[in-house]
Amino acid sequence: MNATITVTILSSIGFFAGLMIYVASKVLPKEDESLAEAARVKEFLPGADCGACGYPGCFAYAQAVAHDKQVFAKTPCPILAQDKGGMKKLEDYLGLQAEVIVGKKAVVHCTGGSHSIVEYTGLQTCAAATQLASGFNECPYSCLALGDCVRVCPTGAMSIDQEHHVAVVDWETCIGCGLCVTACPQGLPELIPANTPQYVACNYQAKRDIPGRKRCPDGCIHCHICEKVSEEGAVTWDEKKDLPIFHVTQVDTAIEKCPRHVIRKTVAYEEKELEVVGSAQETG
């Protein structure tokens, strides 16, 4: 008897609550047009909620676009900008052309050549490992390969090269959101323009030598040869870190002359031409 009453009361209250929600959805005025429009725009977005566009999430970006279409034209979604088909669909829907932007990609400034000097058995995150004397590698500025960047990467572009113990970026899937840059306690990843043909794979900061620690056999020896053999302005020197900075100009001689072969080529080097993303025109 008691069980019947219990079941009846619970199910009838549940039914009544459901009914009330249904009635409320019918009686209340229709959803505001801007929200409905934002929901339609969101259908075209990748839905990664990475925040690279400057808005807190895909829905907030969709709301901003629904409010003012020029938001999309001026700051296209960086993920969508790499997908020409998806870009075209949203451009057709909004009836405008987005500005051509050169996206950004992450690179890791480390070769992984530094070996461990102690056996680290603590918490397996880079953030924890760096709390103790800048990590367990001989080079205090090196990649610890414990994968803090891998865990934050929204697209899985980051991975650990198990052979060399270093984080590597897959430029095909990297969306340039910069989450790895903030996650890395060593400050190794950096966002560079997607048409930069080369970067230096070393982060050894010679002006901040730590006693008893040294750079790996692959590391930059700060000889400035890359700066000397390249044309004016192609390579600048980061005085603070004592490392070269490479720009869009391709520096073949510098790559050749580098005594440590620490200048790495990017995807843009092989393609030779500038990788322009965000354009609706089919470049072929």
**Positions that interact with other proteins (CB under 8 A):** 2, 5-6, 9-10, 13-14, 17-18, 20-21, 24-25, 28-32, 34-35, 63
Q: How far is the CB of 25 from other proteins (least distance, A)?
A: 6
- 58 or 108: CB nearest other proteins: 58
Q: What are residue 191's phi and psi, to 5 degrees?
A: -90, 125
**How far is residue 39's CA from residue 61's CA, in Å, rounded to a whole number?**
11
2 or 162, CB closer to other proteins? 2
CB of 10 to other proteins, least distance (A): 6
Please check whether residue 139 is in contact with residue 262, taking contact to mean a CB–CB distance below 8 angstroms. Answer: no
Supply 182's token pair: 């903030």
Which CB, 6 or 124, lies closer to other proteins?
6
Shorter beta-carbon distance to other proteins: residue 32 or 232: 32
Look at residue 191 and give its three-state secondary structure: strand
* DSSP-derived 3-state class of residue 101: strand
The count of other CB atoms within 10 Å of the CB of residue 47 is 13
List residues bridging with 160 in a β-sheet. Answer: 167
Least CB distance to other proteins at residue 40 (A): 15
Residue 265, sorted as left (phi over 0), alpha (psi -120 to 50) or beta, turns out to be beta
CB 111 within 8 A of CB 262: yes
Question: Which is nearer to other proteins, 14 or 54 (by Cβ)?
Answer: 14
As measured in angstroms, the least distance from the Cβ of 29 to other proteins is 5
Least distance to other proteins, CB of residue 96, Å: 24
